[in-house]
Structure 1
Amino acid sequence: MLLPLLLLLTATEPGHAEQVKGTKKADDSCVCKVNTTMWAFPAQPFEKADQMVQNCGDTLQKLQNQVTQTNGELPKIQAIIKNVTARIEPLKYLDTKGIYNALHLRQLSQDLEEISQMINTAHNDNPSAETQKLTKEVVKVQEEVKNMFKDNVFNLETMREKLRSLHNRVQSCRTIPDDFRSHCYKRIMKNISSPVTTKLNPHSKSYISGAWGREAKRESEDVYWTQPLANSHKYGIQVRLYRSYEDFMASKNHRDENVAPGYTAPNAIQGPGMVLYGGVVYYQCYNEDELCRYDLQSKETKRLKLPNAGINNKFPYCYYSCRDWTDIDLSADEQGLWVIYATESNHGNIVLSRLDTETFNITHTWKTRLFKKSVTNAFMVCGVLYATRYADTYREEVFYAFDTDTGHEDNTLSLPLEKVSAGVASLSYNPIDMKLYMYNDGYLLAYQALF
């Protein structure tokens, strides 16, 4: 017997009911056949969803671990960024005025016109094969610059390098005096002796920065001198003079000469770049891009502007460890008096100018490709600029030379220079005895230059 039965079965949706028929047996039991496939539990989709949930949980945990690790590393990263920012700060000028800024064509034309005028003057004063060659070259370069105004593709930096080379060659044509070669027939040093003088400065061991040497002009009074820097190793007002080498070694019979009334006086000495030449003290004036000239006899001071020179630790000697207040350095040799410095327009590379000591003016200027902050110190010998670099605590190395006669640069030198401490405040050459004088963290050292 078939009886209709209403079975309320829970379906996949709430409130869904299904009606089925059953069979009643003799024992009053009921047998029904129900198709349950439509209500089968979705195991596979559930397992897939469960796996996705598990994967999301793992990914979230991994992300949380990464965030925790990053939070731990963040202070270190911030410290590195701060350090790099501080190191880049002194070189910010490069971004707007230096090597990464394309040169203006009009300025390029003006520079070329100045070089052309110098070549014409040099050729009229002293005609030679070199001046004739320079005249032809400058005409060719002028034509190239004219084409640069028309072309869309050109390399201003390459042209600037051409002008730098032409400029240096013109300076060399105008500079070498008639008797220069007789004093310097061997132009490049071959070696440097071990120290022939080693002495602690006579003032105090605390004076780790300063300069010393011997009167550098021939036929002048034979005087040895020391000039310590006080007030944070930056300023000086006094030069100590000795009448003989014996007095200097014994630290007796000296005379102290004050070039300024105080450390912040306009004529005070800044930095260890001083030199004594012809009875006159030459040095950088206090806090200015100017040279001071103090006459030991007349007690008079004259000043000379050094155009565009970087000062106040903009371009100090800085290889391995920066030596503060060394932006402007004076040096004497067989050819006369020189000033070594750097400018933004030459991208922080060393600029070398020759001084006329009689008129106290700059007569000639060369531009090198040697970054001033990449050397420990520099000095002049026979019209050749030499630069040193740090080797270790007890040794420097002369590695670079720039010849003002030829304009040739050589960075393959390897001349060792012994020292007793790491820091080099000043290093200068004396053309009378052909010795190098170093102020080495308060110690005074002298060496024999060998040719």
Structure 2
Amino acid sequence: MQPVPALLTFLLLLPLVLHGQPQLVRSELSSVDESGTLQCVVHLPNNSIFLQQLDRLQTTVQELIGKYEQELSRAKEFAHAPEDQDSQALEMNRMQESRNPGVISSPYDHPAFNLLRLELEGAQELAAQLKAEGGNNGAADLLHQLQSQVTNASLTLKLLADSNHRSFRALRQEVEVLEGRLSECEREKEQEQSSRDPGLPLAPGSCAHEGLQKVGRPLVLKLNWRGFSHKAGAWGRDSAPDPASSLYWVAPLRVDGRYFDFYRLHKSYDDLVLLKHYEQWKMGYGDGSGNTVYRNFMYFNYYGTNDMAKVDLSSNTLVLQRPLPGATYNNRFSYAGVPWTDIDFAGDEKGLWVLYATEESKGNLVVSHLNDSTLEVEQTWHTSQYKPALSGAFMACGVLYALRSLSTRQEEIFYAFDTATGQEHHLSILLDKMLETLHGINYCPWDHKLYVYNDGFLVNYDLTFLTLKPRMPTPLIKRPFGVRAPPKSFKSNKPS
């Protein structure tokens, strides 16, 4: 008799046992021979019916064994696949992540997980087919338990992969948050170090800096000379970079917060504090709190029009009146919480400016550089900021700085527009305030201060700029052909 493998012997006998016929078949197992082959002797009955059943069972078992060996062969081939398949899969995952940063490949697609999954699927299929050929006795219960264990193992594998997937995603998000906090700490450290070591102080009227860094604490000088009910107005110093005198001016509006009729001039800071040695003049045709003083002339919006007006402070004489092309007026696009500021004048180291909005700009803030002698518009820039959403703005070294209100006690300088380059920048410089509304904001290049009319009180702020630091020369970087990174610019108009 030919030797029968132990597994085949078990499978030959198992169906008969499952059908409840143990007395019909008797097997005798001999010892292992010298070649290591197990010799098995099986005594079969002379009943042809049982022989036919046994033949069918043997055929079925052989088919199952063939399928199992086929699945096992596939698993072995997959297990011994070249290692470059893993590297290719990892490379594809990296490419997919670079194209879709938000999509993370599942660990369940890894070759090791796939191998285990295939083996479990093959075992589950084989157990199901063996169970289908069996009965309802104890061996069938054993196969049922085996099939349940294989199914549970498959579910456990998938849950493990999904858990790793979620853990990896959470870990990656946590790392990104930590990297963001680290970058923020580095920026704060740089700012703190710059504030501790600001370098040489800026000379009066100098632009040798890299932009605004911070705003000091508010210094409340006093209440305006007309009283607490005059909440709207403006005040400051001559905004020329080298004024001929240390003139201070205060211009409260009427109680209605619109009409500009009186102003006072003080020859020094002490005179302003002590309310002495001043000149008081009646204007009678000013509109809003957007006025400023530049080279001993006051510039403001003429009442009820879009005209720009120029008054000689030495004689209180209106010397020039000229319309501002396209500018809206009569409270069309004023600052948030500050009505009647359609036209806002500003002076700095670069000259005289006017800030306004037009219907063409759809209310966005427009910046124009003026000829301070003729009030002719020399050049215009259009920004991306909606003027009624801003609480105020000022110019410093040709850079527009815009503010917005954060609360009743704090403002934020959040936006800057450089007229020299046409580039905009977003920043966050906090500015504390004593009362809710900042009505008139004027910058003085001579002392680098902001002069603010805060609900009737005269307040000023020290400004700190980032000083220029010597830099080592860097080699030119050769860009690939056709690759450029142009700055974001805005439309600039020059009058023809």
2:423 aligns with one of 376, 396, 408: 408
Partner of 1:431: 445
The Cα shift of 1:344 comes to: 1.0
Distance 1:334 1:399 in 2: 21
**Does the alignment pair 1:447 with 2:461?**
yes
Instruction: Note the residue ranges of structure 1 that are not aligned, 5 or more in a row.
Output: 1-181, 261-267
Any idea what the Cα deviations from partners look like across 1:188-220, whole Å, max 9, x if unmatched? 100011123432112110000000001122142
Counterpart-to-counterpart distance in 2, 1:364 and 1:289: 18
Find 1:370's aligned residue among 375, 385, 390.
Answer: 385
Tell me which residue corresponds to 1:275.
Answer: 292
> AA paired with 2:414?
F
Provide the rounded CA distance (Å) in 1 between the counterparts of 2:210 and 2:340: 30
Deviation at 1:297, TM superposition (A): 3.0
2:321 maps to 303
User: Which whole-Å CA distance do the structure 2 matches of 1:202 and 1:372 have between them?
Assistant: 30
Instruction: Give the structure with higher Rg (CA).
Output: 2
Correspondence 1:329 to 2:347: no
Structure 1 stretches of 4+ with a deviation exceeding 4 A read none
Give the counterpart letter for 2:363 in structure 1: G
* 1:243 matched residue in structure 2: 267
Alpha-carbon contact 2:229-2:255 (below 8 Å) kept: no
Q: Secondary structure of the equivalent of 1:237? A: strand
- Are the aligned partners of 2:309 and 2:318 in contact in 1 as well (CA < 8 Å)? no
SS at match of 2:273: helix
What value does the CA root-mean-square deviation take over the aligned residues?
Answer: 1.3
Q: What TM-score does the superposition give when structure 1 sets the normalisation length? A: 0.56
Give distance in 1, aligned partners of 2:423 and 2:208: 16
Amino acid in structure 2 at the alignment position of 1:310 = T
More displaced, 250-259 or 295-304?
A: 295-304
The change in CA–CA distance for 1:248 and 1:236 in structure 2 (over 3 A counts) is: same
Aligned residue runs from structure 1 range 102-251, under 5 A = 183-217=206-240, 218-230=242-254, 232-251=256-275
Kept in 1: contact 2:220–2:460 (CA 8 A) = yes
1:248-277 CA distances to partner (integer Å, 9 max, x unpaired)?
A: 1112221102233xxxxxxx1100011111
Aligned residues: 259
Is the partner of 1:272 in helix, strand or coil? coil
8 Å CA contact retained: 1:187, 1:384: no
Unaligned runs of 5+ in 2: 1-204, 466-496
In 2: Cα distance, 1:196 partner to 1:310 partner? 34
**Within 2, Cα distance between the matches of 1:420 and 1:448?**
15
Deviation sequence 1:127-146 (CA, Å, 0-9, x none): xxxxxxxxxxxxxxxxxxxx
Give the match for residue 369 of structure 2.
Answer: 354
8 Å contact kept, 2:230–2:255: no
Q: Distance in 2 between matches of 1:387 and 1:275?
A: 17
Other-structure match for 2:51 = none
Aligned equivalent of 2:434 = 420
Q: Secondary structure at the match of 2:356?
A: strand
Amino acid at match of 1:426: G
Identity fraction in percent:
39
The answer (yes or no) to whether the contact 1:240–1:254 under 8 Å persists in 2 is: yes
